Amino acid sequence: MPVKLGQNFLKDENVVEKIIKAADLKSDDVVLEVGPGKGVLTNELAKFSNRVIAVEKDEELVKMTAGNFQFSIFPPKADQPGAGNFQSISNDLSLNFKNNVVIISGDILEINLDKLLEANNVVNYKVVANIPYYITSKIIRLFLESENPPSEMILMVQKEVAERIVANPGQMSILAVSVQYYAKAEYLFTVGRESFDPAPEVDSAVIKISGIRNQEAGSRNNEEVKKFFRIVKAGFSAKRKTLANNLSNSLHKDKKEIESILSQLGFLSTVRAQELSVEDWKKLSNIFNIG
């Protein structure tokens, strides 16, 4: 069948086995998979967990994969021509599992994740997925900022992105700070491009995101969090400039005042944003007064 949406399908059984091992699934675990594709990983996840909720944007893949493995489809009539997908259904999000797997025909970024989990009595769950490269950051943010975040995520992403996510001070980026603010990120192993069909132009890597902050509903968008990320974005606004210059220009603050604050934290006036750890950014946010 034709490949849509820039998909590269995992075909290496050894890699699938390593992902399953990394997920450390128990018989009562609920797994949410994004982009199941042809169902190679999905089928294995089903063997080691209680339930698998897979979300696939490509409607043709949904029909093919569900048919090949006898999985349920949601909405139920999505396997019929012209039936539409998840976005066209009512507010009833209750899933009817067959062989403990349901494939949702829809876009994970358009689904109300919290309502989906609530409707199916999912409190604790894991995310295991080969994430589409072009929306990696958005998908990770979706789960980290959810009112009901997963206990952990085992994700296959582009190798370069994986390295950015797990970076240490000196090589930090907005992506690294964003992920590490909410959780612990680990680089597990590299996956060569030959493990996919068709082979992508770059290698991939599997990472583990765990220890996700489980805050009360609605608290993830509170003023403290907004302030933190406003300062982080300001700090990274111009890559070649010093942190003091970026904060001064973006937040309209006196540069001397900012340099004084950085000195209190033990940094020279020449420090750059990529040199700060998440804890440094938290301290900076606590000291800063912004309107």
Q: What residue segments make up the domains of the chain, in order of their start?
A: 9-219, 222-287
pTM reported for the whole predicted model: 0.89
Predicted confidence at residue 134, as pLDDT, reads 84
Predicted confidence at residue 96, as pLDDT, reads 85
Strand partners, 153: 127, 209
CATH code for the domain defined by 9-219: 3.40.50.150
Give, as one character, the DSSP assignment of residue 168: P
Strand bridging mode 30-34 / 51-56: parallel
Residue 17's H or E segment, with its range, is helix 13-23
Q: In this structure, are residues 176 and 167 in contact, taking their beta carbons and an 8 Å threshold? A: yes
State the Cα–Cα distance between residues 141 and 275, nearest whole angstrom. Answer: 23
Predicted confidence at residue 290, as pLDDT, reads 74
Mean pLDDT for each 10-residue chunk of the chain (291 residues)?
61 97 97 96 96 95 94 77 47 83 94 92 95 89 93 96 97 96 97 95 96 63 87 95 96 94 95 97 90 59
**Closest to 187 in 3D by CA, of 212, 157, 150:** 157
Angle (CA) 11-16-18 rounded to 5° is 140
Using left for φ > 0, alpha for ψ between -120 and 50, and beta otherwise, residue 197 falls in beta
**Closest to 146 in 3D by CA, of 185, 104, 115, 168:** 115
Predicted confidence at residue 38, as pLDDT, reads 95
C-beta neighbour count of 119 within 10 angstroms: 14
- CATH fourth-level superfamily of 222-287: rRNA adenine dimethylase, C-terminal domain (1.10.8.100)
Predicted confidence at residue 223, as pLDDT, reads 85
Would the CATH topology of 9-219 be identical to that of 222-287? Answer: no
